[in-house]
């Protein structure tokens, strides 16, 4: 006799909340950012509304505030146990996701919101673009066409930067990257001085690579207290990339100093073809081979719909 077995329950390491469910977790009805502030923070071809900030990013800032507070409390308890006062180290957040998915805007919004909480007003944002090898080095290595791939970053320098942060070094510096000239800016540095929170944003932050070492020693993500992955369907990200390219063609690319000034006079049809080729040859390959496989290493996943707004949130169970 065949017995009927109950359907096995599907388990996941994440708690999944739709946008309206997530919005109920907002700490209050007060909007801490004005429309003018939001407009300055959002990226090209993004239209972040006050409602989106209130329903998605404000609850997220509250969650991070609670996690940061718990970390600060743990530091105090450790000092109590050791009978000594040690320097507090910053709470470090990793922010990952594809090119053109909107992670830079997400990082800026979270930074602005976290600064409003009284127990961690000093919040720094560092992008991993500054840790790309300079163009001359990429050309010497023959990987200029793989800019943004794991091998194009000075991962050792990034790890040293994060190690110094987490060791309580009073002042650390990071290189500065210019999207206008598409290269590291010689002689320019970002100084990070005793922050409460540091957001590290970049497509590569959750990737696990050993840089050619036989035995991996340490990864960038080892220094994160919390990590976020900004997610969307590949076809949506592709369309956002095309739209961004065409907008830049009409704006930044027209600057004589722009590395991409050769694209400034393209027609719409030519711009579509060039941007599509760049996406297919570089960004799509990097997305599927290096970025997307890291998604489920994140503590929280923000899933966007085709209008750039967040549709659901996945939070790792603890």
Cα separation, 248 vs 165, whole angstroms = 35
Domains contained in the chain, CATH given: 14-316 (3.40.50.300)
Residue 233, pLDDT > 90, answer: yes
Q: Tokens 């549709």 map to which residue?
A: 311
Report which of residues 238 and 31 the model is more confident about: 238
The helix (H) or strand (E) run that includes residue 230 is strand 226-231
Residue 233: DSSP 8-state: -
**pLDDT band at residue 313 under the 50/70/90 scheme:** very high
Contact 59, 66 (CB under 8 A): no
- Give the pLDDT confidence score for residue 305 in this predicted structure: 96
Contact 157, 103 (CB under 8 A): no
Average pLDDT of the chain, as a whole number: 92
Residue 279, pLDDT > 80, answer: yes
Cα separation, 202 vs 97, whole angstroms = 7
Q: pLDDT per residue over 165-203, tens digit each?
A: 999 999 999 999 999 999 999 999 999 999 999 999 999
Contact 127, 201 (CB under 8 A): yes
Contacts of 101 (CB under 8 A, 6+ apart): 230, 231, 232, 237, 240, 304
- Give the pLDDT confidence score for residue 160 in this predicted structure: 95
Q: What percent of the chain has pLDDT over 70?
A: 93
Give per-residue burial for 7-35: e unless 16+ CB within 10 Å, then b: eeeeeeeeeebebeebbeebeeeeebbee
- Give the pLDDT confidence score for residue 163 in this predicted structure: 95
């Amino acid at each position: 006799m065949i017995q009927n077995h109950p359907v096995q329950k599907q388990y996941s390491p994440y708690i999944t909340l739709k946008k309206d469910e997530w919005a109920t977790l907002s700490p209050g009805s007060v909007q801490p950012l004005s429309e003018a502030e939001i407009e300055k923070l959002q990226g090209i071809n993004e239209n972040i509304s006050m409602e989106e900030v209130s329903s998605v990013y404000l609850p997220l800032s509250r969650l991070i505030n609670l996690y940061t507070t718990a970390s600060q409390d743990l530091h105090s308890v450790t000092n109590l146990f050791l009978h000594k006062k040690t320097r507090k180290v910053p709470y470090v957040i990793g922010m990952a996701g594809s090119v053109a998915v909107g992670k830079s805007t997400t990082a800026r919004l979270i930074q602005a919101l976290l600064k409003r909480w009284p127990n961690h007003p000093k919040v720094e944002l560092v992008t991993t673009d500054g840790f790309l090898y300079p163009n001359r080095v990429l050309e010497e290595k023959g990987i200029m066409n793989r800019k943004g791939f794991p091998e194009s970053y000075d991962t050792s320098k990034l790890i040293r930067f994060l190690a110094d942060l987490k060791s309580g070094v009073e002042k650390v510096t990071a290189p500065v990257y210019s999207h206008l000239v598409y290269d590291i800016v010689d002689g320019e540095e970002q100084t990070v001085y005793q922050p409460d929170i540091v957001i590290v944003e970049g497509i590569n932050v959750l990737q696990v690579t050993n840089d050619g070492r036989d035995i991996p020693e340490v990864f960038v993500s080892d220094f994160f207290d919390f990590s976020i992955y900004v997610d969307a369907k590949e076809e949506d990200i592709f369309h956002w990339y095309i739209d961004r390219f065409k907008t830049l063609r009409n704006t930044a690319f027209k600057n004589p100093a722009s590395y991409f000034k050769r694209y400034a006079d393209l027609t719409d049809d030519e711009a579509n073809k060039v941007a599509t080729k760049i996406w297919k040859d570089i960004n799509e390959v990097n997305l599927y081979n290096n970025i997307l496989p890291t998604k489920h290493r994140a503590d929280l996943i923000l899933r966007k719909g085709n209008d750039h707004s967040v549709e659901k949130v996945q939070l790792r169970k603890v």
